[in-house]
Structure 1
Amino acid sequence: MTSIPLLSVNVSANLLFAYSAYFVGTASPGPSNLAIMSIATTDGRKAAFAFAAGVVCGSCFWAMLAALGLSAALLAFSGLMVGLKIFGGCYLLWLAYKSGRSALQSTPARTQASNAHLSLRRVYMRGVLLHLTNPKAILVWISVVALASPTHGGAPHMLTTVAGCLAIGMLVFGSYAALFSTPLARRVYLSIRRWLDGGLAVVFGLAGLKLLTSRT
């Protein structure tokens, strides 16, 4: 008679832990958030939202793999993972180079006015690529799914976990895009642009090197 209430409490507790862990990981400063901040202040709100949508879609891909149990199979193909690590590490180093070059310039390399023709589809794909080229992302989702999955939780519970985390991701990334595309944020950005771009170069560079040199 008490098994159902106990299971319900267990499921709710696991969901809360998973959501909290995902929120902390998503809201903490990282390559995706810093890139959204930079795009929002230089290219405007539409471009920032497009990039954030790409990041969320990339996250959704890893989430579905983890939820369907295909992540273990993917990790079993060591050659594929090594190739993905190399590609992802090189892409992050390329982003580090671009940010570093921008930091060395005395004037912004791009502005909203000069990017009126900016392709939102291209910006969206940059967001997708940034998230897909980081194999570490799938490890985060494996942890979230494992944390939120009690015995006999079932498919509906797993769907709730993934949907809730993706909603959190949309809220967090969307908030970054909205906040840093305001006129005040753009003025602040212009005053610290070179420091921010330099910080991006360091973050992307360290992430790329860590990815290329990691053994897992």
Structure 2
Amino acid sequence: MMLPLDLLSGFFAICILLALTPGPDNIFVLTQSALSGRLAGVFVVLGLCTGVLVHSTAVALGVAAIVQTSSLAFNALKILGACYLLYLAWAVLRARPEPLDVTGPTAAAQKQKQHKADYFRLYRRGIIMNVTNPKVSIFFLSFLPQFADPARGSVAGQIFVLGGFFILSTLLIFGGIALLAGTIGTHLRNSARAQNIVNKIAGLVFIGLAIKLATLQQ
């Protein structure tokens, strides 16, 4: 199975443009990178990319068609996603500024252990954010098959290849957002007042995204 180079390059260009378009995922990367640093943003991106893999698999297996045709599945998924966004808003709004100066080997070890746990949590959040958005699954169902042709062999195999290119575009664009926002966030986190402001902004963003997802029509 070989996909034509011109098709792959055109598909990849579309993916780049889609990744650059403001939406819940890149806003999520932006806010988390500013709040928790570049590496935290990268773990969010990895979680989102894992979610893309889930969506690609669902399309390849035909599972996404259920979400598109079933009102119950669609509404259940969007309510779950909206509730999770509200949970994130609640968590970030009640978060306190992190201590800026932590000294001593014991404190440093504890901080390193905490960071590892936080990174895994952010990775998991990225997956849940992406997977619980029914708009994404329907988009993949309508978008990826347009570039697959049964005459080239396994359609499922082609879907996975296209999904891989979508993941690559996500890594490039969202990774760049994470690095840029993380750099800005480094300066913001030098001030407890700035941390409080960023937390409030992030909380409002999550609430707005939850409302937008909850009111999404099939």
What is residue 169 of structure 2 aligned with on the other side? 168
Say whether the 8 Å CA contact 1:42–1:112 is kept in structure 2. Answer: no
- Measured in 2, the distance between the counterparts of 1:21 and 1:112 equals 42
- Measured in 2, the distance between the counterparts of 1:159 and 1:188 equals 40
The amino acid of 2:51's aligned partner reads G
- Measured in 2, the distance between the counterparts of 1:47 and 1:68 equals 32
The yes-or-no answer on 1:72 pairing with 2:72 is no
Report the RMSD for the aligned CA atoms in angstroms. Answer: 3.2
What is residue 177 of structure 1 aligned with on the other side? 178
What is residue 186 of structure 2 aligned with on the other side? 186
Deviates more, 1:160-169 or 1:200-209: 200-209
The amino acid of 1:132's aligned partner reads V
The amino acid of 1:128's aligned partner reads I
* Partner SS, residue 22 of structure 2: coil
- Measured in 1, the distance between the counterparts of 2:12 and 2:99 equals 36
Given candidates 194, 210, 213, the residue that maps to 2:212 is 210
Q: Compared with structure 1, are the counterparts of its residues 210 and 99 closer, same or farther at alpha carbon in structure 2 (3 Å cutoff)?
A: same
The amino acid of 2:216's aligned partner reads S
- Runs of at least 5 residues in structure 2 that lack an aligned partner in the other structure: 103-110
- Percent identity, aligned pairs only, is 24
- TM-score by length of structure 1 reads 0.74
What is residue 82 of structure 1 aligned with on the other side? 75
What is residue 37 of structure 2 aligned with on the other side? 44
Q: Compared with structure 1, are the counterparts of its residues 214 and 186 closer, same or farther at alpha carbon in structure 2 (3 Å cutoff)?
A: same
Say whether the 8 Å CA contact 1:43–1:111 is kept in structure 2. Answer: no
What is residue 137 of structure 1 aligned with on the other side? 136
Give the deviation of 1:46 after TM superposition: 2.9
- Measured in 2, the distance between the counterparts of 1:176 and 1:111 equals 25
Give the deviation of 1:187 after TM superposition: 1.5
Q: Compared with structure 1, are the counterparts of its residues 144 and 17 closer, same or farther at alpha carbon in structure 2 (3 Å cutoff)?
A: farther
- Runs of at least 5 residues in structure 1 that lack an aligned partner in the other structure: 1-6, 103-107
- TM-score by length of structure 2 reads 0.74
